[in-house]
Amino acid sequence: MDFSSLSLFFLSLISCLWCCLMCIDIYLCVTSHGFRVLKPKFSFIWFYVWFRFFPP
């Protein structure tokens, strides 16, 4: 397994994890009123992490 395929694997893994976390984030926001306060901060952290390590 060479480096490019390995990095591609990790990128897809992180993307999958990202999607799952965003779905959980949205789900919690919709179902629980308590999480609505934390929602913007939670999303901001993830967007920061995403753009920090995977700039467009």
Q: With contact defined as beta carbons under 8 Å apart, do 50 and 18 qualify?
A: yes
Q: What is the pLDDT of residue 41?
A: 61
Q: What is the pLDDT of residue 2?
A: 74
- Taking alpha carbons only, the member of 26, 54, 30, 55 closest to residue 42 is 26
Q: What is the pLDDT of residue 26?
A: 72
Cα 5 from Cα 18, distance rounded (Å): 20
Question: pLDDT of 1-56, one tens digit each?
Answer: 577 888 888 888 888 788 777 777 777 766 765 555 555 666 677 777 777 776 65
Q: With contact defined as beta carbons under 8 Å apart, do 13 and 31 qualify?
A: no
Q: How many domains does the chain have?
A: 1
Q: Which domain holds residue 43?
A: 3-53
Q: What is the pLDDT of residue 25?
A: 73
At 6, list the tokens: 């390995």
Q: What is the pLDDT of residue 8?
A: 82
